[in-house]
Chains A and B, each alone.
Chain A
């Protein structure tokens, strides 16, 4: 028979001295330490004082019988398991059953058989060990779980500060993020670029939890970093796609919609890959909601060479809204297992009160789900077109990298046709200009001027597109379509930037001269635009330039323009 390997403490409680001595001897012979108790009260005291691991308990004892002792032992708080074997001369089935009901784990009839007693101690010790192991494992799991929750909470704090951040609190954004667990796979990012546009990205990573969340980190880094530097929507998306394709395992990806709200032009540019239709709703209930359809694969699926960053442009009046959601909303189920679905969504949006649509949709979704657990992340974002002056989200700030910066420098930078097609020079040039400390405080203005000059030179100069089309209905959409066509057909032409800057302790200047290969235009019509400060779309570009620069001069036939910024007392010679 198997012996118990580790010696344990065994309490022997029997008022009969002969029986007690006999039992003690059998137990001691097994190598265990024996604690003797002469009656029930003594047994309880010894139990507390000596902490035995197994108790042998006579059923009938003076002062306190075995049944009562067993009950009291079982009432001791804590979860240490101490097996109890009843010792009894009783033979009635009812009496023996009573031993077990009172808290005993086994019983032993007198006269004692040492072989059976040893076997029972061994068996109960095995049970006790099992219980100890189970408790250790339970405690370990509890500790592990607690640590996991703590770590998840910390990770969630980090995640939230990265993934649901930027200018989400701006007055023209409403959003709803209801987490499924500590993490959800949904990401909402928003930031303004140096030209004052607002970029918003809604992303839904496949799966839930940690895996889904990890990809959000680089996505947010790229989004904020590149938006702040003035990269175009397509540039940001291409980089996000490349990064996610690199780091995510095959089969993991991010469905996303990214938009560029241009408050100056009253347009929204959209790229959508894998998310359900977004909707444009009009302020005054002007017609049904316009669906904005996903045209692309999600981010992180294909390599850079196959990635398609083409976008669509929609015109929005002040008060018009764009509503985006993840599939969590549409796939939320009611008690009957029926999905919320796009028909319900469209019906609500088509009620024609754009301002209330967001809340109405949220309420309808919650009402639909009732007490059901949410199956997915329920995330919605609504962005409203406003007059730029009403936007309260901050513009990017430029941090000084050097104390003094370059003081006497010039730079010439010319782009040929294939660069014009593929490359956006603005972030690079902006980066150079922001090395001049005095220009940093005007970073947003300078970026706007740079991009207006470049767009004029490329669109109207090199490609000869007329801005008049922009003033017709659907004009912007047509214009952007033509622009894409003209750009892909471009075979010659150039845009050349020349920068000259001087600075001293008392002041300085920056001249930006932009020349293009186009035929130029009749400079005299400018005077009209300048006098009117016209509100028409196509007039805004130039009047904006006149407002923002300290001076603006057209040279020659009009394909050569010079903008100037001055600070302090030193004007150009």
Chain B
């Protein structure tokens, strides 16, 4: 599991890329990507291109990010999901809370 993040040039967008299994072991790293920033981005993207699997604690982390980003007003996209990842997000009906692509 590796978490990488990148702030856009204008400082308003944060992209968090997850690699490997997205589970509880990623908790700390994942939180740090958005809690340790100097800027305050208002657009968040979680890139699942290299994520192989996610579990319920990963769903919890996504909810934490959404909460951090402003709850119902948050703009959080989850992109490049493989079928397994997509299925887990679908079962939990997370498309009601996130823009999933």
Contacts and interface: CB of A to CB of B under 8 A. Distances in A.
B57 A297 contact: no
Contacts of A231: none
A276 B90 CA distance: 10
29 contacts: A206-B56, A207-B56, A207-B57, A207-B60, A250-B60, A250-B64, A251-B57, A251-B61, A251-B63, A253-B63, A255-B56, A255-B92, A273-B92, A274-B91, A275-B91, A276-B91, A294-B91, A294-B93, A295-B93, A296-B93, A297-B93, A297-B94, A297-B96, A297-B97, A301-B63, A302-B96, A302-B97, A306-B72, A331-B55
> Which size class do B's interface residues fall under?
10 to 19
A516 B39 CA distance: 62
Q: Do most interface residues of chain A lie in helix, strand or loop, or is the interface mixed?
A: loop
Contacts of A206: 56-57, 59-60
A224 B52 CA distance: 40
B67 interface: yes
Interface of B: 24, 55-57, 59-61, 63-64, 67, 72, 91-94, 96-97
A459 to B, nearest CB: 29
B56 to A, nearest CB: 4
A230 interface: no
A251 B61 CA distance: 6
Nearest to B93: A297
Contact of B93 (A207, A250, A251, A274): A274
Contacts, number: 50
A250 B68 CA distance: 10
Contact of A301 (B24, B55, B91, B97): B97
Interface string A270-312: 0001111000000000000000001111100110001000000
A301 B97 CA distance: 10
A331 B23 CA distance: 14
Interface residues of A, number: 22
Contacts of A263: none
A250 B63 contact: yes
7 nearest A-B pairs in the assembled complex, by CB-CB distance: A251-B60, A206-B56, A274-B92, A251-B64, A250-B67, A251-B63, A297-B93
B91 to A, nearest CB: 5
A363 B63 CA distance: 36
Given A251-B64, A253-B63, A294 B92 contact: yes
A252 interface: yes
A274 B97 CA distance: 13
Nearest to A375: B55
A59 to B, nearest CB: 55
Contacts of B67: 250-251
Contacts of A296: 93
Nearest to B72: A306
Contacts of A306: 72
Contacts of A207: 24, 56-57, 60
Contacts of B55: 331
A253 B72 CA distance: 17
Given A252-B60, A255-B56, A294-B91, 5 more contacts: A206-B57, A250-B60, A250-B63, A274-B93, A297-B92
